[in-house]
Each structure stands twice: as structure tokens, then as C-alpha cells.
Amino acid sequence: MSAPATPLPPGSTIGILGGGQLGRMTALAAARLGYRCAIFCPEADAPASQVSALTIRAAYDDADAQRRFADSVDVITYEFENIPLAPVEALARLKPVRPSPSVLAICQDRIQEKQAMARAGIGTARFAAIESATEIPAALATIAPGILKTARMGYDGKGQARVASAADAAAAFTRFGSVPCILEAIVDFACEISVIAARDASGNVAAYVPVENRHVHHILDETIAPAAIDPAVAAEAGRIARRIVTELDAIGLIAVEMFVTQSGDVLVNELAPRPHNSGHWTIDACATSQFEQLVRAIVGLPLGSPERHSDARMKNLIGAEVEAWPSLVAEPGACLHLYGKGEARPGRKMGHVTRLTPRGS
């Protein structure tokens, strides 16, 4: 491994694009290491703004706001990938952005993402890019039934539909606004897992144990750490995540969501160039949380140990589930995290609770 680069000293400021709960938890982790955070987002009273030294509230394409933001920070990262690429590229000309805009461009476009995996020899579901309605019949000839997804901007089940015929696909394509889409084969999976890998500027990589993710209505409900999978499957998932973060030349975090098939193969589903919901358990169960790991990677500190001292089960508090907070905060051993959001709307992530058990129990 290479020696770490000269780190930014404590007292430096980390700029975070986006004001959600991932930015909030990153800012809290940064504060523990003596760093300030500045938030750039268009929303008022954003969760990350509540715990940060500075917020610039403006549209991401506001050139004056970009300059003011860049002048106030030493390095820039982001807490969600559905951010316009052009403003990130503009900011990268002013201050270091980690992970780079090129990594963001791949991870925010499902077509580019799958093509990058294919170039790296990493397995995915079979797929076909669909740029226009005329391409639908040929795609369905080899992939049917399948999942039609918008290439960009979809998350938590949004912008996707199961299709079995050309009529289904054409209707969904029109409903999505006739934007570029990807058709993916349906995977007969045994479970869904993810691995979060960190990489610093010197090429050092650290990865967390694979975890199992369970969804309800396409939204992550629970994460179980570690995943109850064969050790060889776990090793392969870790290898894939390490290879991806290295192949992309990323500085920061990459969360790799994967399917484990009934036969034990590991297929990459999606990438996220940021902290991930499935890594929240690391705050309470690991020596170094995913949020601290991101801070370490982007400011030039040595990467921390990703080893866990406990096994964990993380439960998202979605919508009205957050109303159980009085009993959760009173529950012995429950680690409650609330995000400072006002209105508990259906499908909105309001917080999470992590329960620890002895490692290997």
C-alpha cells in the first residue's frame, strides 16, 4: 500500500452537495475529527444544515453560489448522486471534488454503469439500452420479461416497471417521458446484498463486510450485518467491490448493491458514489463508520478499520414509523438516529434504529 497523501488539517472545511440525512451524518462524523462542513442545497432547514457550520441555499446551477461555496471549502463531496453533472464539473475546476465528476457521471446513469461493469468483466443482469421506442422490440426479443428503468434519476423503485410485452414496454417508456431507459433481465435471486468500499488518493482500499438488504415497496426496510451467505460468496462480493472502486479510480466511497443468485453467483445491480442507507449500521457496530471513512478518504487521512465489533440489524423508520421514537429511545441497547425532518410523509426516511448483538452470535 502507498503512503497517504498529506492530509487537510483539522479546522479545514468539507463542502457537501446535498442537504439530506447522509450529509447530516457525514457532517457529524467530520466534526468528531475536527473538520467543519458547509452545505450547498436548494432546500430550507435541510437535515445536514442543522448540524453544519454554513449553508449556501441556492440552485446547484447558480454560478455565483458555486463560487461562494468553493471559496468557503477545501474539498467537496456529495451525499446523493441525482445532482446535475454540469455544476459538479464547474465546482471541480475550483476545488477538488471527491469522488470525481467522472465517477458521478457513471453512477448516475444506469446505462453507463452497466457498460462500465461489462468493460471490467464484472457480472450484471442481462441488459439492453433503449434510447427510442423503435428499439423496444429488439430488446424484448432477448430480455422478456424484464424491468424497464429510466437511465437516470430513479431511486427507491421510482422510474421502473416490470414489462412482459412490447405494449407494456411502450406504455412504460411513454409514461417515463420517452427518456433513455435500460431494460434489465429479471434475476432469480436468493438475496440482495451490498458492500461499501472506500479508497483514498494513494489507492488504499478498505471494504465493509457484505450485508443483506430487505426491501418493502422497493424501499430499504432492514439491513442485516453480516449477510448470512456462504463465505466464498462473501469473499467474491468483497472482491467485486474492491475492484470497482479501483477501476473507477474513485476517492471516497462506492456502495455496490448486488444480487446473489440461487446458484451462488454475484451480480452487480447498482452503484452509489456516496454513503449508503445499507451502511448506517457501521455507526454503531464498527470502529470506523462509513461516514468517518468518507471523511478520511477525501481529506487524506489514513483509512480506518472497517472491522465490526458487533453484528447488527438496522431498521429504517419510514413515514409514520418514526412515531415509535419514545419507545425506541427507551429500549435498552437500541441505537436511535433521527434525521431532523419535520413532516413524516409516506415513504420518507425519517430515521433508523440499529440493534447490536455479539459478533458471531
Give the residue carrying C-alpha cell 478499520.
Answer: 305
What is the rounded distance in angstroms from the CA atom of residue 235 to the CA atom of residue 247? 18
CB–CB of 312/214 below 8 Å?
no
Q: Residue 169's CB: how many other CB atoms inside 10 A? A: 27
Place of cell 468517518: 292
pLDDT digits (tens, 9 = 90+) for 133-183: 889 888 888 887 889 999 887 655 567 888 888 888 888 889 888 899 999
15, 70 Cβ separation under 8 angstroms: yes
Residue with cell 415509535: 324
- Asked if 197 and 205 count as a contact pair (C-beta separation under 8 A), the reply is yes
Cβ 165 vs Cβ 198: under 8 Å: no
From 87, 146, 145, select the one nearest 114 (Cα to Cα). 146
Summarised one tens digit per residue, pLDDT across range 66-78 is 999 999 999 999 9
113, three cell numbers: 454503469
66 residue type, one letter: Q
Give the cell for residue 167: 405494449
Q: How far apart are CA 91 and CA 14, in angstroms?
A: 13
Q: Which helix (H) or strand (E) holds 38?
A: strand 36-41
Return d(Cα 84, Cα 108) in angstroms, integer: 9
In the predicted model, is pLDDT for residue 326 greater than 80? yes
Q: CA 321: distance to chain centroid?
A: 23
289: Cβ contacts below 8 Å, ≥ 6 apart: 25, 29, 279, 282, 283
Q: Quote the percentage of the chain above a pLDDT of 90.
A: 84
pLDDT for 157 equals 56
Dist. CA 95–CA 314, nearest whole Å = 35
Average of pLDDT values for 311-320? 98
- Per-residue confidence (pLDDT) for residue 196, from 0 to 100: 98
Asked if residue 13 lies in contact with residue 26, where contact means CB atoms within 8 angstroms, the answer is: no
> pLDDT band at 5, cuts 50/70/90?
low
Please report the domains of the chain, with CATH numbers, ordered by start residue. Answer: 13-107 (3.40.50.20), 126-185 (3.30.1490.20), 189-358 (3.30.470.20)
- State which amino acid sits at residue 204: N
182 close to 130: Cβ distance less than 8 angstroms: yes
At 3 the pLDDT is 43
3-class DSSP state of 321:
helix
Name the DSSP class of 185.
Answer: E
Kindly report the number of other CB atoms within 10 A of residue 117's CB atom: 23
Angular region, 264: left φ>0, alpha ψ -120 to 50, beta rest: left
Q: Is the pLDDT of residue 2 over 60?
A: no
* Pick from 349, 103, 93: nearest CA to 221: 349
pLDDT digits 0-9 by tens, 35-51: 999 999 999 999 999 99
Question: 49 near 27, Cβ under 8 Å?
Answer: no
Strand 36-41 relative to strand 189-199, pairing: unpaired
